[in-house]
Amino acid sequence: MNEPDRQSGSAFDAIRAIDYTVVFVRDMEAMRYFYESVMGFPFLRELSSNWIEYKVGGNTLVLSRPGLTASDVPTPYGSAALHLAFRVSALEVDQCAEELMRKGINLLSPPTNRDFGHRTLFFRDPDGNLLEMFAEI
């Protein structure tokens, strides 16, 4: 196997950030409600009923039905397709937990200080994806 020429670099060295994250959804109505009303993410735009964008910090979170770029079957219920971690302050981890519980969202793990220096909170969206609020402590 040939080794890449390290001196010439890679075209991938030009990547500076993840611009947007696409979440393939099973239930668009439930997911829209969750990300708009529970999480409170600012609506950015709707390119079609199958592509909804939200602003999350400097990034874009997209809810999409598979089909445009991939015709994958949906992830089976009971299986998370992804894990999204949202950075906040340590105090805000606790405030997010309180707000999620007020809104009827079950916590998988309450705010907890971890040995690796994070304060975390875990919960799921309507499609079962694992979501985390965390802060470095």
User: How confident is the prediction along the chain (137 residues), in pLDDT tens digits per residue?
Assistant: 555 555 668 988 888 888 999 998 889 999 999 999 999 999 999 999 999 999 999 999 999 988 766 677 777 777 767 899 999 999 999 999 999 999 999 999 999 999 999 999 999 999 989 999 999 99
Asked if residue 131 lies in contact with residue 86, where contact means CB atoms within 8 angstroms, the answer is yes
Show the beta-strand stretches assigned E in the chain: 20-24, 43-48, 51-56, 59-64, 83-87, 107-113, 118-124, 130-136
CB 41: neighbour CB atoms within 10 A? 18
pLDDT at residue number 82: 87
pLDDT at residue number 100: 97
Pairing of strands 83-87, 59-64: unpaired
Residue 117: partners with Cβ closer than 8 Å, 6 or more residues away: 136, 137
